[in-house]
A and B are shown apart, each in its own frame.
Chain A
Amino acid sequence: MNILVCVKQVPDTTEIKIDPETNTLIRAGVPSIVNPFDTYALEVAARLKDSIGGSKVTVMAMGPEQAKAALKECLSVGADQAYLVSGREFGGSDTLATSYVLSCAVKAVEEKSGENFDIIFCGKQAIDGDTGQVGPELAEHLGYPQITYASDVTFENDTIKVKRENDEGYDYLTCPLPCVITIVKTPYEPRYATIKSKMAANRAVIPTLSAEDLKIDTTMCGLKGSPTKVKKTFTPVREKHGIKIEDKEAADAAKELVDMLSDAKIL
């Protein structure tokens, strides 16, 4: 199985400050990490690799030179090789432009290596922008089927089995390969690096793919290729849905429920 994981380097904060003038993120002084959902995607990929002989995991990030730090991090926890997609032309790309650039990079890497990717993983969203659009758009650019918000992926009887959580329980889905899958928080934690893998990752040389390498249409990337205008950002109010009665014997819970319903004059 030839697997690609798209990762993004993001500022390490849940309370990102926003510039009120431009409505964009203020990144200065904030340490960078690998987007947490991408680390889950990488762990899913690494587990698939461990379970299927002869597999390989490639990671790819679009970003400035510093994003190589994020790629090295990935190399120490399961990725075999990494590419940085970088260039001035890409600066200011919105999700449409980013997914376009990534789709060109996928093709460029496939051409270079002579091998096509079977699965492309993305995190469900990046914690700095929270759009959740790049994965699905990447699938569209490539013309691949997509499964979003998966929490686990396994390989059984020559097909992939994708677990997706919903309010009622789980869906198990499958689709033909190649495909794009976006990953939510997994039921397991990403693995730790080992001293050896960390040292090896530190020494790794990460090739950079430029606009030229990608033979890209530069009017479709960067600010020029980005139709999105951010008007306003805000955190939506979370509405409370229902009450959970937990940690009780079923009979006690039922009794408590009846009490509640009766107090609320429903019964």
Chain B
Amino acid sequence: MGYALMTDEQRELVNLLHDFQMKELAPRVEECDLTGEFPMDVHDKLGELGFHGMDIPAEYGGCGFDEVTNYLIREEFGMVDAGFGFSYTLSKSGSSTVIRYGTEEQKKYICDRVLNGAIVCNCITEANAGSEVTAMRTTAKKVGDEYILNGTKCFISNGPIADVYMVIAYTDKSKGSHGLSLFMVPKELGVETGKHENKMGLRASVTGEVIFNDVKVPAKNLVGKEGEGYRNILANLTRNRILNTSIVVGTAQHALNEAIKYANERETFGTPIKNHQGIQFMLADMEQLVQASRNYLIYGANLLQRNAPKDVISQVAAGAKVFASEAAMKVTTDAVQVLGGYGYMREYPVEKLMRDTKIFSIFEGTNQINRMVQGRAITKI
């Protein structure tokens, strides 16, 4: 990894994950890209190494890492397979809304389940409610000690393989965003899953429909108060914008590494292509983009760690997410260019990196939405 400011402990962790991934995941990447399957055995082995506790505070039995370490781990995941890294880290960090806003009982419950290998997913989007979250139709109607959930979520990462669903639904439609509430819904309560999406990239991450058909959820599974759901998931989204985007920096770094290797080996006109200014400058530009993305996101991670004011973090998170996802798109596209015709072939690794990268400008708020968040924040006087 191209970050020279790691502590010894961070370097050890990153090396541990690197060695593991090179042995256990790297040989599977091509197969997962073809089949669109999440390698569950790799997930389980990461648990044996202790990675399931990555997003869990030490007092609940987890690793209690600081947010910069969380960044670095994710970048390392992105170096090998963005899809696996995204699904895996999400399956654990999905617990973080509960850790922030849940009751003691809820926190204990989610931490125990995650440490034991449970997969968590976040259910927000619906067919007619992507950027406009409040357009959603899923409802949670209180009847006695229970809420009855009805509705269909779509494009849910980990949806088809999850054990616990974090679901946002209307408890009171008339209140708009203040009528949305967040629920922790274990699969056993009757959550159904529908169609698996066949995607352009990020294929080791399974994405699909999640259906709630009169699912009865005990009232004690409401996270935070009624009407606080939107606010709470937005706060979590801010964290995700920083940490999930870390993954694509790893993907860009991987693409750059492949391009550098190839530029040293491939010769045209009697010299390795790295000696042609056209290629050398492109590689320098790629390095700048990767390093700038990394440092922008690490700035965000430091803000998270220090509990900076909400408006400061959300502005930085939105900007860093846009910058890093677009930088990665440019870097992975240019890596294909450096490899020429070979870059376009499935036999070489870089075209996949380009396919994997595109989604990072779309989810966690599209880049348009994130520009809006940042633009509004910085123009306020």
Residues of chain A at the chain B interface (Cβ within 8 Å) = 189, 192-196, 198-199, 202
Contacts and interface: CB of A to CB of B under 8 A. Distances in A.
B7 to A, nearest CB: 10
B19 A199 contact: no
B49 A195 contact: yes
Contact of A196 (B8, B19, B23, B50): B50
Interface stretch (B9-17, B224-232, B238-246, B330-338): B9-17
A202 B16 CA distance: 12
A202 B19 contact: no
A159 to B, nearest CB: 32
B63 interface: yes
A194 B48 contact: yes
23 contacts: A189-B23, A192-B16, A192-B19, A192-B20, A192-B45, A192-B48, A192-B49, A193-B16, A194-B48, A194-B49, A194-B50, A195-B49, A195-B50, A195-B51, A195-B53, A195-B63, A196-B50, A198-B12, A198-B13, A199-B9, A199-B12, A202-B8, A202-B9
Interface in B48-92: 48-51, 53, 63
Contacts of A196: 50
B49 A202 contact: no
| B8, B16, B51 — most chain A CB neighbours (10 Å) | B16
A196 to B, nearest CB: 6
Contacts of A192: 16, 19-20, 45, 48-49
Contacts of A195: 13, 16, 49-51, 53, 63
A196 B13 CA distance: 10
A196 B23 CA distance: 20
Contacts of B49: 192-195
A66 to B, nearest CB: 14
Interface in B154-176: none
Contacts of B51: 195
B15 to A, nearest CB: 9
A198 B16 contact: yes
Given A192-B19, A192-B48, A202-B8, 12 more contacts: A189-B23, A192-B16, A192-B20, A192-B45, A193-B16, A193-B49, A195-B16, A195-B50, A198-B13, A198-B16, A199-B9, A202-B9
Nearest to B45: A192
Interface in B1-37: 8-9, 12-13, 16, 19-20, 23
B350 to A, nearest CB: 26
A185 to B, nearest CB: 15
Contacts of A202: 8-9, 12
A37 to B, nearest CB: 18
